[in-house]
Amino acid sequence: MPSIAQILNELKYEMVRQIAEGGMGVVYEAHQHGAGQFRKTVAVKLIREEYSSIPEFQKNFIGEARLVADLIHTNIVQTYHLGQIGGQYFMVMEYVGGQNIEQFLERHRRLGRQVPVDLAAFIVSRVARGLTYAHQKRDRDGNHLNIVHRDIGPKNVLMGYEGDVKLTDFGIAKALNLMYNEEGKVIAGKDEYLSPEQASYAVTDARADLFPLGIVLTELLLGKNIFRNADRATSRKNILTMPIPRFSTLRPDIDERLEAIIQKALQRDRELRYQSAADVLNDLEIYLYSHGYGPTNEKLGTYLRDIFGVRDRQPPVVATSMPRPPDP
Q: Mind listing the pLDDT tens digit for each residue in 297-308? A: 999 999 999 999
Residues 59 and 32 in one domain: yes
Q: Packing angle between helix 256-265 and helix 210-222, nearest 10 degrees?
A: 140
SS3 231: coil
Q: Any idea what the Cα angle at residue 40 is, between residues 171 and 38, rounded to 5°?
A: 145
152 domain-assigned: yes
Residues 104 and 250 in one domain: yes
46 — pLDDT class (breaks 50, 70, 90) = confident
Q: Is 269 a known active-site residue?
A: no
**185 pLDDT above the threshold of 70:** no
Cα torsion 98, 104, 107, 113 to 10°: value is 130
Rounded mean pLDDT of 113-133?
98
- Looking at residue 223, what DSSP letter applies? S
SS3 6: helix
SS3 99: strand
Rounded mean pLDDT of 221-241?
97
Mean pLDDT of the chain: 89
- Is residue 4 within 8 A of residue 52, CB to CB? The reply is no
Q: Final residue of a domain: which of 96, 115, 133?
A: 96
Residues 201 and 69 in one domain: no
- Is residue 166 within 8 A of residue 96, CB to CB? The reply is yes
For residues 140 and 146, give the distance between their C-alpha atoms in angstroms, rounded to a whole number: 14
323 domain-assigned: no
- Is residue 104 within 8 A of residue 127, CB to CB? The reply is no
For residues 80 and 91, give the distance between their C-alpha atoms in angstroms, rounded to a whole number: 8
Higher pLDDT, 315 or 193: 193
**34-43 long-range contacts, CB within 8 A, separation 24+:** 41/16, 41/95, 41/316, 42/13, 42/80, 42/92, 42/93, 42/94, 42/95, 43/19, 43/92, 43/93, 43/94, 43/95, 43/96, 43/316, 43/318
Q: What is the Cα Rg of the chain in Å?
A: 20
273 domain-assigned: yes
Residues 89 and 102 in one domain: no
Q: Final residue of a domain: which of 49, 67, 96?
A: 96
Q: Mind listing the pLDDT tens digit for each residue in 48-65? A: 777 777 887 788 788 888
Amino acid at 154: P
Residues 145 and 14 in one domain: no
2 — pLDDT class (breaks 50, 70, 90) = low
Q: What is the CATH number of the domain that holds 13?
A: 3.30.200.20
Residues 76 and 102 in one domain: no
Residues 152 and 219 in one domain: yes
Number of structural domains found in the chain: 2
328 domain-assigned: no
C-alpha closest to that of 123 among 148, 160, 91, 172: 160
Q: Mind listing the pLDDT tens digit for each residue in 276-315? A: 999 999 999 999 999 889 999 999 999 999 999 997 544 4
Residues 78 and 145 in one domain: no
**225 pLDDT above the threshold of 70:** yes
Residues 229 and 139 in one domain: yes
Residues 70 and 195 in one domain: no
32 domain-assigned: yes
Which range marks the domain in which residue 29 is found?
4-96
Rounded mean pLDDT of 67-73?
92
Residues 297 and 168 in one domain: yes
Q: How far is CA 272 from the centre of its chain?
A: 24
Q: Final residue of a domain: which of 65, 96, 127?
A: 96
162 — pLDDT class (breaks 50, 70, 90) = very high
Q: What is the CATH number of the domain that holds 130?
A: 1.10.510.10
217 domain-assigned: yes
C-alpha closest to that of 24 among 83, 108, 78, 88: 88
CA distances from 323 to 22, 169, 319 (A): 8, 9, 11
Residues 236 and 102 in one domain: yes
Which residue is catalytic, options 70, 118, 151, 209? 151
Q: Mind listing the pLDDT tens digit for each residue in 242-264? A: 999 999 999 999 999 999 999 99
Q: Mind listing the pLDDT tens digit for each residue in 72-108? A: 999 999 999 998 877 778 899 999 999 999 999 999 9
